[in-house]
Amino acid sequence: MQITFLGTSCMVPTKQRNVSSVFLSYKTEGILFDCGEGTQRQMNLAEIKRTKVTKILVSHWHGDHVSGIIGLLQTMGNDEAPPKVEIFGPKGTMDHMKSLMNACIFEARVNLKVHELDPTGVERCYEDSDFYIECAYLKHTTPCLGFAFIEKERKKIKMGVLNKMGVKEGPHLKKLQEGKSIDYKGKKIDVKEATETVKGKRVSYIMDTRPCANAVELSRDADILICETAYDNELDEKARIYQHLTAGEAAMIANNANVKKLYLTHFSQRYKDTQKILEDASATFPNVVCAEDFMKINL
């Protein structure tokens, strides 16, 4: 799994930061969390193929989070074999996507499926054999979702144990990974002895919001929490007016949710550097990083 920050600015892009977008690569999946203006160019610079995008998770429909969708879909449609793309977003997403697709003239060749989400709490909005995605409403000026990507538990083969049993590597081990015991040259190999359970990784994505219970629950025990921090602690009144988080509030969410590592993003364009934000957050939650455009995380 690899995470790439494609945009870490708030509403206005700067010379150093583009507006919001984060790309998560996992096996054959390419999940784009938000898609602000210029995201596809950022993907070029990060050497990420546009056609790797399989899902776009839209937190909300403010322009700095969605203005790059139409250009990305148009370019992806130029591929010889246009891919399938699923878009997940809050209530109103169906109408917004219809308007977006009619905003300019192009041949819509991407196989597009839109999912409008309206969760009553923390709910699963997608699931396959390897992972699932949870979503919940946050507290912003417009319907806004937070998301969590959760990798499922998997079986890891203990090759040291199998070597002692005289079992060699090969396709017969696939059943062990599926949680089933096997027969090998007349000998039963118990899956409980030959494997161990590995807990999956959890990546949470919390965008524009005030502190709320759903932000904590979506972030619970996350390996990585990516969280908006528009302001330092001294601008708490501005954060309340515009329904955003200060650095200390984002750190408190991470602390209350037992997060392993916090990555702050979505900084106001007023900040030439993020040292003050980092200091404010570190006072509450020490394992914190202020993200930069093109920063990569390997999990």
* Catalytic positions, written as ranges: 64
The CA-atom distances, in angstroms, between 225 and each of 125, 135, 156 are 19, 14, 26
Tokens of 165: 């049993």
Tokens of 149: 């990507």
The CA-atom distances, in angstroms, between 270 and each of 13, 21, 66, 210, 293 are 11, 19, 22, 20, 16
Using CA atoms, how far apart are residues 286 and 261, in angstroms rounded to an integer?
9
Using CA atoms, how far apart are residues 144 and 60, in angstroms rounded to an integer?
5
Asked if 294 contacts 9 with a C-beta cutoff of 8 angstroms, the reply is no
Tokens of 150: 């959760």
User: Measured in whole angstroms, how far is the alpha carbon of residue 207 from the centre of its chain?
Assistant: 11
Asked if 69 contacts 99 with a C-beta cutoff of 8 angstroms, the reply is no
Using CA atoms, how far apart are residues 100 and 97, in angstroms rounded to an integer?
5
